[in-house]
Amino acid sequence: MAQVSSFPELAMHGLKDIYSAEQQALAAYPEMIQAATSDDLKLAFSEHMEQTKAQIERLEQIFQNMNETPGGVECLAAKGLIAEAKEHIKEIESGPLLDAALIGAAQKVEHYEIASYGTARTFAEQMGDDIAAQLLEATLEEEELTDERLSDLAIMNINPDAADEI
């Protein structure tokens, strides 16, 4: 991490980190969509991939409003979580068990994003940046809904199917 010596610098570093996380997630979705066997899961991943594009645009709007450029920070957490998802794709045979693993991997990313967006929103509020706070809150709500949707898919369909494979 670059030297951070002020609250605004800490907030900016957090925004650049989540921007990196979103870019990495966006790049990973096609492989996850292809690996998923459940049509409902493929649809959930596809729809969230499109939502992620809008979330990236919101972040870019925040950077523009702050006269900053995105980039320059690599989100190591997202890198590791996405590597885990790719490992599942290699190690688990296609079917409900892989779908269950993919949901778990995707939810790990969602939980990281939820924490990151909550922190970024709170920092924006602290600095009096109401526009950034509103944009970050909109994304936070989307991430929470995606997490709930993945949980519902897991509980109602995917996990029972995976458990029946034993």
Q: How confident is the model at residue 3 (pLDDT cuts 50, 70, 90)?
A: confident
Q: Domains of the chain (ranges plus CATH)?
A: 7-158 (1.20.1260.10)
- Phi, psi for residue 14 in degrees, rounded to 5: -65, -40
Tokens of 138: 């909109």
Provide the b/e sequence for 4-30 (b: ≥16 CB within 10 Å): eeeeeeebbebbbbbbbbbbbbbebbe
What average pLDDT does the segment 24-37 reach?
97
pTM > 0.85: yes or no: yes
Q: How confident is the model at residue 165 (pLDDT cuts 50, 70, 90)?
A: confident
Rounded-to-integer distance, Cα 60 and Cα 70, Å: 7
Q: What pLDDT was estimated at residue 2?
A: 62
DSSP state letter for 70: S
Q: What is the pLDDT of residues 99-158, one digit of tens each?
A: 999 999 999 999 999 999 999 999 999 999 999 999 999 999 999 999 999 999 999 999
Q: How confident is the model at residue 1 (pLDDT cuts 50, 70, 90)?
A: low
Q: What is the pLDDT of residues 56-94, one digit of tens each?
A: 999 999 999 999 999 899 999 999 999 999 999 999 999
Whether residue 153 contacts residue 103, with contact meaning beta carbons closer than 8 Å, is answered with yes
Chain centroid to CA 118: 13
* Helix/strand/coil percentages in the chain, nearest 5: 85, 0, 15
